[in-house]
């Protein structure tokens, strides 16, 4: 098992390198850089001025060199102006060149400087990720058990009225995009249109202090969408397991129906949906964009929109590094969990 | 807990079960009666679809959503199971009536440890503690003769072999010491030697615990070995019931008689005494004929009488209270008359050698890890070890052995699906062992063809039968255009005795036997000279097997084909082959003419195989040899002789020769070779396994 994890981590690092290089290359294409120079300097810069600005920032080095600098495996680029002031990636505003470290990249914990928020990227990402993490945690806590219960209840007696109604429910929720359900919920539960006013239509205050009142609607909006999907998967897998011969064996052994479902069917039925559930994590990370915007909750998705919209290269890179790591880690967990659930799979 | 009950354990009276679809009601079982007395074993025999499993599930009251009992009663120890509530039934299931299933792997929960699955039974029914349940499980696992019970209880089903899994299923059924055990084809998925051991175990345990048994099987020989009484079913009805000896020796129903005539018993011979196939097909449940269900296929059918009644009643055979038959004419039929319209055939002489194997070897290398291996130790699986033999024109060479013996690997190498590791395959003085099938020329591909085991999977479901045969013709370069190929295809259908209209049918519209005929037609499309038939009839019903076997023989006679018949069924091998090759773990342990192999001296493995095959003839006396344990894995074969771990003759060989050295090939007689260390004197003293008692 140890060897397996070690090997998987190795493969993961390799994948992470490839993916980040790809993102790095795409965000550092010349038109992007030109746009960056113009937003940072002024929009009427001449081509020469753009070139000198880029030269000064070290943007005109070959991409692999820039990537290595960004990673922190080669000394960072420095530019000495004619007046003797030294500028460079590592020299943060208000810092003397002599005090600044030679290396500054991901490996040193330096994620860059966000041009939009005018803050270090690492700081932005950590605060935003924490906010989205909070949202995701509650979504998962609502979505996964809910979906599994619905799926198992629907799948244990295929074709029964219970199955029909739960299936209809899950198809409806999956077929309703978040921007529709979100708007609906706000209209029904938070506005004077219906007059229920149980919850708040904005989650801005939940960033500081989340309560049921201000946080439930965004959580529900995301959870419902994913819930239908997982529930359908669980139902299909459960329905298949319930027709298996070993379930008949259990039935003819005299096991009661609740015990058949809980002891015999459940573990087997969870094998297939487990991968899907794990795949929901990366989806949530980026899928929250709409809901975070809708409920004005300034989390990771919102940051991503800001970074992409404003050509904030370093922030965008930071966001993609986090996404890549989240995807790879959940896949690792899903593989290990799969081995645990399914005794027929062995990693050795 | 076991109340004293002296009446019948199970009494089924005029039971009718139907399945309901949207279109119609489909009667699956009609007017079925049987009685099981305490300690008695009753066999339920019939072809697939005759309703025997439905009866079992009816007893368990587990017919699913669509099935319903529409008439009659099922009494268990005097209580009617039909009127019981779900709770009452649950109490009986598992504790009083237990069931053993056909496929052990599928009937054990893959994600639950064996111990837990076993312990569940007493914990539900006897309300005992975890500790007591564990002790009981340990004892029962010891009872079913599994080695290292503690380790077995702590493993998952997939970690055991098929035979061990079936023993666990049996153990599970015995956990609560039930009064009635229902066995639904318990050994069909197992190898013959393993089957023999499991049957032995079931018989022994039945005696030990005094359990009554309802034994469902399509194998008459197996029923003869295990049961006291038998009930033959055909198309949803019991057609004949009685004591085993009565039914086997004095059958009083045409179907029973036809069934016996269609199975290869010792004494049957493909030339002098060929099998008699039952004509026609098994009727579908919603297409049953009026009157007697067997009427259209019956030799004694009388128009206006057999089809004039609503339903033929079950009648007692005069002079035997317990023997009953469902036939209007059984009192008039001369039961001792020899079968009609049997044509004896000339024995065809084998011609020149067309195929020669010379020290053929096939090893597989299994890397410990495919992705990051390299440094990991590589394991070599020796699937075929020095195969040498010749096959002649119009000769049938049978290759016999259990799963994992390398017979399918050999077929793959011959076909070119794999290339040989060493040695040579000589076809018409040309070495073809290193030429994969893609590189073979059309002629070679057309010459060496194969008939597959499972006709259900080997036909493309979305292409009509005629199209598939024409496609084969096209590949083999037969015929100039489609019209010519169509003509050829129709002639091939004639050859395999299928009506020409079948050309436009889809495979799903065909029965198993018809599909296998299409498979044969396809194999012979390019005028094949060597046909490898890999268990061509084992997936088919008994009555169809005879017809397909006959067809193969007939085509062989006409076309002088060399037939390599791969099988594990020694009865059929004895019936149709000229020479037999017995394989075990990649080694050829015995090779000779059919007479030589089926008579002493035997290789110890051949002897065990012969003894394991159930024979449906009360006159046959068999020597009883039960092999211990399972077939060793080819990944990790035993040292020395491959058979030494299970051999009953091993102690007759001095020293530890068997464990250290692979035995040499010894020539016993002309064309008869055995791979064994046994001394000549021991071979001379061997007794025949099968003896036919004088009448």
Give the separation between CA A52 and CA B607, rounded to whole angstroms. 93
Nearest to B124 among A254, A264, A271 (CB): A254
Residue B575 lies in a domain: no
**B372 contacts chain A (CB < 8 A):** yes
Q: How many domains does chain B have?
A: 4
pLDDT tens for B591-607 read 888 888 888 788 888 88
The alpha carbon of residue B29 is apart from the nearest alpha carbon of chain A, in Å, by 21
Interface contact flag, A252 B106, Cβ < 8 Å: no
Chain mean pLDDT for chain A: 84
Nearest to B60 among A252, A255, A342 (CB): A252
> Which chain A residues are Cβ-neighbours of B95 within 8 angstroms?
254
Q: How confident is the model at residue A165 (pLDDT cuts 50, 70, 90)?
A: very high
Examine the pLDDT at B469 and tell me if it is beyond 80: yes
pLDDT tens for B523-561 read 888 888 888 888 888 777 777 788 888 888 888 888 888
> Which chain A residues are Cβ-neighbours of B158 within 8 angstroms?
343-344
The alpha carbon of residue B630 is apart from the nearest alpha carbon of chain A, in Å, by 21
The alpha carbon of residue B94 is apart from the nearest alpha carbon of chain A, in Å, by 4
Residue B572 lies in a domain: no
Neighbours of B686 (CB within 10 A): 16
> Residue B64 has what pLDDT?
78
Examine the pLDDT at A261 and tell me if it is beyond 60: yes
The alpha carbon of residue B634 is apart from the nearest alpha carbon of chain A, in Å, by 20
pLDDT tens for B446-457 read 888 888 887 778
- Same domain? B62 vs B194: yes
Quick one: what percent of chain B has pLDDT higher than 70?
95
DSSP letter at B47?
A: -
Examine the pLDDT at A139 and tell me if it is beyond 70: yes
- Same domain? B215 vs B237: no
The region of weakest confidence among A65-69, A80-84, B58-62 is A80-84
Nearest to B93 among A244, A252, A343 (CB): A252
Contact pairs from chain A to chain B, CB under 8 Å: 74
Examine the pLDDT at A239 and tell me if it is beyond 80: yes
Give the separation between CA B695 and CA B691, rounded to whole angstroms. 12
- Same domain? B309 vs B383: no
> Which chain A residues are Cβ-neighbours of B98 within 8 angstroms?
252-253
Give the separation between CA B54 and CA B46, rounded to whole angstroms. 12
Chain A residue with Cα closest to B117: A250
Q: For residue A81, give both structure tokens.
A: 């102006």
Nearest to A253 among B65, B94, B158 (CB): B94
Quick one: what percent of chain A has pLDDT higher than 90?
7
- Same domain? B17 vs B157: yes
Examine the pLDDT at B633 and tell me if it is beyond 90: no
Examine the pLDDT at B375 and tell me if it is beyond 50: no
Contact B566, B407 (CB under 8 A): yes
Sign of the CA dihedral B88, B90, B91, B97? positive
Interface contact flag, A246 B106, Cβ < 8 Å: yes
Interface contact flag, B110 A248, Cβ < 8 Å: no
The stretch A244-253 carries a mean pLDDT of 87
> Residue A146 has what pLDDT?
92
Residue B237 lies in a domain: yes
The stretch B659-681 carries a mean pLDDT of 83
The stretch B269-285 carries a mean pLDDT of 74
Interface contact flag, A253 B121, Cβ < 8 Å: yes
> Which chain B residues are Cβ-neighbours of A341 within 8 angstroms?
111
Give the separation between CA A47 and CA A34, rounded to whole angstroms. 9
Q: Are strands B353-367 and B378-392 parallel, antiparallel or unpaired?
A: antiparallel
Residue B41 lies in a domain: yes
**B106 contacts chain A (CB < 8 A):** yes
Most confident of A298-307, B187-196, B318-327: A298-307
Nearest to A267 among B62, B111, B120 (CB): B111
The neighbouring-strand residues paired with B658 are: none
**B244 contacts chain A (CB < 8 A):** no
> Which chain B residues are Cβ-neighbours of A256 within 8 angstroms?
90, 124
Chain A residue with Cα closest to B125: A254
Please say which residue of B341, B376, B406 terminates a domain. B341
Q: For residue B119, give both structure tokens.
A: 């312990």
Examine the pLDDT at A21 and tell me if it is beyond 70: yes
> Residue A93 has what pLDDT?
67
- Same domain? B311 vs B249: yes
> Which chain B residues are Cβ-neighbours of A343 within 8 angstroms?
110-111, 156, 158
**B76 contacts chain A (CB < 8 A):** no
**B125 contacts chain A (CB < 8 A):** yes
Please say which residue of B289, B311, B341 terminates a domain. B341
The region of weakest confidence among A22-26, A35-39, B214-218, B461-465 is A35-39
The stretch A217-243 carries a mean pLDDT of 89
> Residue B374 has what pLDDT?
44
Q: 3-class SS at B399?
A: strand
Length of chain A: 348
The stretch A24-34 carries a mean pLDDT of 86
The alpha carbon of residue A281 is apart from the nearest alpha carbon of chain B, in Å, by 26
In terms of Cβ atoms closer than 10 Å to its own Cβ (0-12, 13-18, 19+), residue A223 is: buried
Contacts of B406 (CB under 8 A, 6+ apart): B362, B383, B384, B385, B583, B585, B586, B634
Residue B196 lies in a domain: yes
Q: Where are the domains of chain A?
A: 2-108, 125-341
> Which chain B residues are Cβ-neighbours of A344 within 8 angstroms?
110, 156, 158
Give the separation between CA A156 and CA A256, rounded to whole angstroms. 13
- Same domain? B118 vs B238: no
> Residue B2 has what pLDDT?
46
What is the maximum alpha-carbon separation in chain B?
80
pLDDT tens for B195-230 read 888 888 888 888 888 888 888 888 888 888 888 889
Examine the pLDDT at B372 and tell me if it is beyond 60: no
- Same domain? B126 vs B162: yes
Give the separation between CA B99 and CA B361, rounded to whole angstroms. 44
Interface contact flag, A268 B99, Cβ < 8 Å: no
- Same domain? B180 vs B288: no
Distance of CA B95 to the CA centre of its chain: 31
Chain mean pLDDT for chain B: 82
Examine the pLDDT at B370 and tell me if it is beyond 60: no
The stretch A311-316 carries a mean pLDDT of 85
Instruction: Indicate the Cα dihedral angle B393, B399, B404, B408, nearest 10°.
Output: 20
- Same domain? B35 vs B114: yes
Where b means 16+ CB within 10 Å and e means fewer, B78-117 reads eeebeebeeeebbebbbbbbbbbbbbbbbbbbbbbbbbbb
> Residue B343 has what pLDDT?
66
Examine the pLDDT at B267 and tell me if it is beyond 90: no
- Same domain? B309 vs B412: no
Q: Are strands B324-325 and B237-243 parallel, antiparallel or unpaired?
A: antiparallel
CA distances to A243, A336, B34, B42, B179 from B9, rounded to whole Å, are 30, 51, 11, 12, 7
Q: How confident is the model at residue B159 (pLDDT cuts 50, 70, 90)?
A: confident
> Residue A169 has what pLDDT?
92
Sign of the CA dihedral B535, B538, B542, B548? negative
- Same domain? B521 vs B597: no
Identify the CATH number of the domain in which residue B429 sits: 3.40.50.300
For the domain bounded by A125-341, which CATH number is listed?
1.10.3720.10
> Which chain B residues are Cβ-neighbours of A342 within 8 angstroms?
110-111
Contact B106, B76 (CB under 8 A): no
- Same domain? B529 vs B399: yes
pLDDT tens for B392-428 read 888 888 898 887 788 888 888 888 888 888 888 888 8
> Residue B694 has what pLDDT?
53
The alpha carbon of residue B643 is apart from the nearest alpha carbon of chain A, in Å, by 30
> Residue B5 has what pLDDT?
63
Please say which residue of B296, B316, B341 terminates a domain. B341
Q: How confident is the model at residue A167 (pLDDT cuts 50, 70, 90)?
A: very high
Instruction: Give the residue numbers spanning the domain of B250.
Output: 228-341
């Amino acid at each position: 098992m140890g060897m397996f994890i070690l090997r998987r981590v190795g493969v993961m690092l390799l994948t992470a390198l490839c993916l980040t290089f790809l993102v790095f290359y795409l965000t550092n294409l010349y038109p992007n850089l030109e746009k960056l120079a113009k937003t940072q300097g002024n929009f009427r810069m001449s081509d020469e001025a753009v070139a000198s600005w880029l030269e000064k920032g070290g943007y005109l080095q070959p991409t692999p060199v820039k990537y290595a600098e960004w990673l922190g495996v080669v000394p960072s680029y420095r530019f000495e102006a004619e007046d003797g002031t030294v500028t460079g990636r590592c020299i943060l505003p208000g810092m003397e060149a002599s005090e600044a470290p030679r290396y500054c990249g991901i490996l040193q914990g330096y994620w860059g400087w966000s041009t939009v928020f005018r803050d270090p990227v690492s700081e932005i990402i950590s605060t935003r990720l924490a906010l989205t993490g909070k949202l995701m945690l509650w979504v998962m806590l609502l979505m996964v058990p809910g979906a599994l219960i619905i799926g198992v209840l629907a799948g244990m007696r295929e074709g029964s009225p219970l199955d029909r109604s739960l299936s209809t429910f899950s198809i409806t929720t999956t077929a309703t995009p978040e921007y529709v359900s979100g708007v609906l919920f706000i209209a029904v539960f938070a506005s004077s249109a219906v007059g229920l006013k149980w919850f708040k239509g904005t989650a801005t205050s939940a960033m500081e202090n989340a309560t049921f009142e201000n946080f439930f609607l965004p959580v529900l909006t995301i959870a419902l969408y994913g819930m239908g999907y997982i529930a359908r998967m669980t139902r299909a897998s459960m329905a298949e397991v319930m027709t298996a011969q070993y379930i008949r064996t259990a039935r003819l052994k005299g096991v009661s129906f609740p015990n058949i479902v809980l002891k015999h069917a459940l573990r087997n039925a969870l094998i297939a949906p487990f991968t899907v559930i794990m795949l929901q994590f990366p989806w949530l990370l980026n899928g929250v964009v709409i809901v975070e915007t809708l409920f004005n909750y300034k989390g990771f998705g919102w940051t991503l929109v800001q970074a992409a919209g404003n050509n904030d290269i370093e922030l965008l890179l930071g966001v993609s590094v986090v996404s890549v790591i989240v995807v790879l880690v959940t896949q690792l967990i899903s593989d290990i969990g799969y081995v645990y659930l399914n005794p027929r799979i062995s990693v050795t | 807990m076991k109340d004293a009950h002296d009446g019948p354990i199970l009494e089924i009276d005029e039971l009718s079960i139907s399945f309901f679809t949207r279109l119609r009601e489909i009667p699956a079982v009609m007017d079925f009666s049987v009685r099981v007395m305490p300690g008695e074993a009753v066999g339920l025999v019939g072809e697939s679809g005759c309703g025997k499993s439905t009866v079992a599930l009816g007893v368990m009251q587990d017919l699913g959503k669509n099935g319903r009992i529409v008439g009659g009663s099922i009494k268990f120890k005097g209580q009617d199971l039909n009127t019981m509530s779900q709770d009452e039934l649950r109490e009986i299931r598992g504790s009083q009536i237990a069931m053993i299933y056909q496929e052990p792997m599928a009937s054990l929960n893959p994600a639950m440890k064996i111990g837990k699955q076993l312990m569940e039974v007493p914990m539900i029914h006897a309300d005992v503690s975890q500790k007591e349940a564990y002790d009981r499980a340990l004892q029962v696992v010891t009872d079913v003769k599994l080695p290292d019970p503690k380790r077995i209880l702590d493993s998952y089903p997939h970690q055991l072999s098929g035979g061990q899994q079936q023993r666990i299923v049996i153990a599970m059924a015995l956990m609560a010491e039930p009064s009635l055990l229902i066995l639904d084809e318990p050994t069909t998925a197992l190898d013959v030697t393993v089957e023999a051991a499991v049957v032995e175990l079931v018989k022994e345990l039945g005696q030990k615990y005094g359990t009554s048994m309802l034994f469902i099987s399509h194998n008459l020989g197996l029923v003869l070995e295990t049961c006291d009484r038998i009930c033959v079913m055909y198309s949803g009805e019991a057609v004949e019931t009685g004591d085993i000896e009565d039914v086997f020796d004095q059958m009083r129903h045409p179907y029973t008689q036809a069934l016996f005539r269609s199975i290869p018993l010792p004494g049957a011979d493909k030339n002098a005494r060929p099998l008699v196939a039952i004509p026609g097909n098994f009727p579908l449940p919603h297409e049953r004929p009026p009157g007697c269900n067997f009427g259209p296929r019956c030799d004694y059918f009388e128009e206006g009488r057999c089809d004039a009644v609503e339903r033929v009643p079950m009648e007692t055979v005069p002079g035997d209270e317990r023997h009953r038959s469902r036939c209007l004419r059984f009192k008039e039929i001369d039961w001792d008359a020899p079968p009609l319209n049997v044509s004896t055939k000339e024995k065809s002489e084998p011609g020149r050698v067309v195929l020669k194997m010379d020290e053929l070897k096939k090893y597989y290398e299994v890397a410990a890890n495919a992705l990051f291996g390299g440094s990991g130790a590589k394991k070599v699986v020796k699937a075929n070890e020095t195969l040498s033999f010749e096959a002649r024109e119009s000769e049938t060479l049978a290759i016999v052995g259990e799963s994992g013996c390398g017979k399918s690997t050999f077929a793959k190498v011959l076909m070119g699906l794999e290339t040989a590791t060493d040695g040579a395959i000589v076809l018409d003085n040309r070495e073809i062992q290193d030429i994969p099938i893609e590189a073979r020329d059309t002629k070679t591909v057309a010459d060496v063809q194969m008939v597959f085991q499972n006709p259900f999977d080997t036909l493309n479901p979305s292409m009509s039968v005629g199209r598939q045969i024409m496609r084969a013709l096209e590949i083999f370069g037969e015929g100039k255009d489609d019209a010519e190929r169509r003509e050829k295809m129709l002639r091939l259908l004639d050859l395999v005795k299928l009506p020409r209209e079948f050309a436009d049918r889809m495979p799903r519209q065909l029965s198993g036997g018809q599909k296998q005929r299409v498979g044969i037609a396809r194999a012979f499309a390019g005028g094949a000279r060597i046909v490898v038939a890999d268990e061509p009839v084992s997936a088919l019903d008994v009555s169809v097997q005879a017809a397909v076997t006959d067809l193969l023989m007939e085509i062989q006679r006409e076309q002088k084909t060399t037939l390599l018949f791969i099988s594990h069924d020694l009865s059929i091998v004895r019936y149709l082959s000229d020479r037999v090759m017995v394989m075990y773990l990649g080694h050829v342990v015995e090779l000779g003419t059919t007479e030589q192999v089926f008579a002493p001296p035997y290789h110890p493995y051949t002897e065990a195989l012969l003894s394991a095959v159930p024979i449906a003839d009360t006159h046959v006396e068999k020597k009883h040899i039960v092999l211990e344990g399972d077939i060793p894995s080819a990944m990790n074969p035993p040292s020395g002789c491959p058979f030494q771990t299970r051999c009953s003759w091993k102690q007759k060989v001095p020293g530890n020769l068997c464990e250290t050295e692979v035995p040499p090939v010894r020539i016993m007689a002309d064309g008869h070779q055995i791979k064994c260390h046994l001394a000549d004197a021991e071979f001379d003293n061997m007794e025949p396994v099968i003896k036919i008692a004088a009448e």
